[in-house]
Amino acid sequence: MSLTFRLGTRRSPLALAQARQVQAALAELHADLTVELVPITTAGDRLRGSLADRGGKGLFTAELEAALGSGRLDLAVHSLKDLPERLPPGLKIAAFPERADPRDVLVTTAACGLNELPAGSVVLTGALRRQAQLLYLRPDLRVEPVRGNVETRLRRWRESGAAAIVLAAAGLDRLGLAEVPAHPFDPQDFVPAPGQGTLAVQVRAGSAAEVYCRALDHPPTARAAAAERGLVSALGGDCALPLAAWARPAGDGAALRLTGLVATADGGRRARAEVEGADPAALAGACAAALLAEGADEILRAARK
């Protein structure tokens, strides 16, 4: 007996590439399964202007989640950093496939890295988190906003005369853009977004898709995702705030090391903490407490205003 699942995805080239990865992995694991891609245009894809001003990252997932809940889809693939911490009733994440490179990269032909950019250079980014860290490291830079999918952002960089643009390493890799002059940041110095490089496979709880998708789960990635998303929840954060989180294995055991950072958009004030522990939820709580002790609450209040 064979099954057919309908896999929902955004229509962007990157989202489709990510969905095809999951489609291929399921086909390899389950010979009795056929997975059909169902591209859907979300409110975030239609957005013109600031994501933070129009309702946050849920704009990229709401239509997919509604289709899942109604039964029009059997599963959906999201970039984890686009997925709100609170899921609709009846839906759950069945799997976190193994994480790709979580780092940010500086795309430029003008230098070999951030420190080598000429004074006053224009750098493009659509993320307050990236803007805050750029200006903390190089307050002389001019940071200008950019939106759109990866190809649109790269075209804007090439046509605008800007010296550089900051993008996610995972996105470039998944799109096969190896020719792009990308210079990775050290994630200790330039902390990634919570969930960056991680995919989430979302299903209806108790469905056949949940059973089939469990085999895609990568426990170390799932633990890191829980710690990073737990920190976001503990701080009441969202895409409108310059908030970074990066969890990774610590040593050879089950411990994780979690780095958290919040900052003002101009990079002038920031709080940074790094903690270790075995339980992702406890680790997130400890990191949040350490950040608050460093003044994160005041930074977040100012950012929300």
Domains 3-98+198-217 and 104-184 belong to one CATH topology: yes
Q: What is the pLDDT of residues 137-191, one digit of tens each?
A: 999 999 999 999 999 999 999 999 999 999 999 999 999 999 999 999 999 999 9
In one letter, which amino acid is 290? A
What pLDDT score was predicted for residue 240? 65
pLDDT at 37: 98
- Residue spans per domain, the chain: 3-98+198-217, 104-184, 228-304
Helix/strand/coil percentages in the chain, nearest 5 = 40, 25, 35
SS3 for 302?
helix
Which top CATH class is 228-304?
Answer: alpha beta
Q: Cβ of 53: how many Cβ atoms within 10 Å? A: 9
Catalytic residue among 74, 82, 101, 104: 82
In tens, the pLDDT along 123-132 reads: 999 999 999 9
Mean pLDDT of the chain: 93
* pLDDT of the residue at 302: 82
pLDDT digit string, tens, across residues 236-277: 876 567 899 999 999 777 899 999 999 999 999 999 999 999
Q: What is the CATH number of domain 104-184?
A: 3.40.190.10
Q: Examine the residue annotation and report whether 82 is marked as an active-site residue of this protein.
A: yes
Smallest Cα–Cα separation from 195: which of 273, 123, 129, 272? 129
Token pair of 272 as six digits: 């940074």
11-26 pLDDT, tens digit per residue, is 999 999 999 999 999 9
CATH top class, domain 3-98+198-217: alpha beta
Quick one: tokens of 183? Answer: 């210079």
The pTM (predicted TM-score) of the whole model is 0.92
Give kind and range of the element (H or E) at residue 153.
helix 150-160
pLDDT of amino acid 201: 98
